[in-house]
Amino acid sequence: MQPKITGKDSEEESAMAVPAIGKTGIWSLELRFGDKGQANEAAAELDELGYGALWIPGGIDSGAPADVQRLLGVTRRATIATGILNLWKHEPVELAAWFASLDEAEKARTLLGIGVSHGPLIGEQWGKPLPAMRRFLDGLDAAGMPRGHLCLAALGPKMTALAAERTAGAHPYLVTPEHTAQARAILGPGKLLAPEQGVILEEDPARARALALGALEHYRRLPNYRNNWLRLGFAEDEIDACSDRLIEALFAVGGVEQAAARVQAHLDAGADHVCLQVIGGQSGAGFDALRPLWRRLAEALL
């Protein structure tokens, strides 16, 4: 039997206890913004299929915590994670109070990814990312939010280092296995690394490229992503044109075999968990289209 830890050591261990998320999860805007009844049915099925975490976006408003709680209520095992909560849309004390209101079983399955969003989307309120994130994390600490239930949407090396210092780890978005290897080197061992990986289950090259272009149209204009791709060795004109090389690096294209290979590449590069986003077009895809694809991926990966 493990010795019982008491006092300050016990408090610190509790604060850094990280929810179990397994090796594979699903990232889905539809689980948050789709029809709530259909989303709940789909979440329950994903849970039964064995995905370790269900990730939902939160960046455009302050409503994600309510959807986290909704999804906790229709699942039994999977962790519900945010990718990401926009710090400009939340107050630390309110977010910590919401988390404290959950029962212990719900807390154990809640992981909050926090991000700084993008200047073009936030406007004058937006400030320098690192100081803004430090202030937000200071507020969460002061309000008693356990660090083990937080991760950061870290792309650059400085934000990744902050993720290692102040939270469970990092949840990068639109990255490559090469980025995963770089992030692991910065995070060090024992820190969570959970990259998002886009998946295009389409064998026709023209159709696959059209889906990728739709998915990248918004993101390729945002400085945070562009700068990260430049650090990874892509040229400005490749990003502007959404070159085949960029698409092939960011998305697993083809069948479930290609998706499985890309997941393994991230794991080999140091990821603990990979959350898969099935790309269904610029405005997402309906559950009737997505659920069979999620099942196919589960058969190959779980």
Give the pLDDT confidence of 12-63 residue by residue, as tens digits. 555 679 999 999 999 999 999 999 999 999 999 999 999 999 999 997 899 9
Domain 20-301 has CATH 3.40.309.10: no
Q: In the predicted model, what is the mean pLDDT of the chain?
A: 92
**Residue with the larger pLDDT of the pair 207 and 126:** 207
What confidence score (pLDDT) does residue 124 get?
Answer: 62
Beta-bridged to residue 85, according to DSSP, are 58, 114
What confidence score (pLDDT) does residue 2 get?
Answer: 28
Per residue in 56-106, pLDDT tens? 999 789 999 999 999 999 999 999 999 999 999 999 999 999 999 999 999
Per residue in 1-15, pLDDT tens? 223 333 444 445 556
Per residue in 184-242, pLDDT tens? 999 999 999 999 999 999 999 999 999 999 999 989 989 999 999 999 999 999 999 99
In this prediction the pTM is 0.92
The C-alpha atoms of residue 248 and residue 245 are separated, in whole angstroms, by 5
Size of the chain in residues: 302
Q: Are 94 and 145 in contact (CB under 8 A)?
A: no
What confidence score (pLDDT) does residue 119 get?
Answer: 53
Q: For residue 210, which phi and psi values (nearest 5 degrees)?
A: -60, -40
Report how far Cα 105 is from the mean position of its chain's Cα atoms. Answer: 21
Strands (E), the chain: 24-27, 53-58, 79-86, 110-115, 150-152, 169-170, 192-193, 196-200, 251-253, 274-278
pLDDT at residue 256 greater than cutoff 80: yes
Going by C-alpha positions, the residue among 208, 235, 199, 200 that lies closest to residue 220 is 235
* Residues in Cβ contact with 200 at an 8 Å cutoff, skipping those fewer than 6 apart: 208, 211, 212, 251, 252, 253, 254, 278, 279
Per residue in 132-177, pLDDT tens? 999 999 999 999 999 999 999 999 999 999 999 999 999 999 999 9
* Residues in Cβ contact with 222 at an 8 Å cutoff, skipping those fewer than 6 apart: 118, 120, 121
Distances (CA, A) of 217 to 28, 172, 283: 18, 18, 11
Tokens of 214: 């739709």
The C-alpha atoms of residue 163 and residue 115 are separated, in whole angstroms, by 11
Tokens of 55: 């990730």
What confidence score (pLDDT) does residue 6 get?
Answer: 38
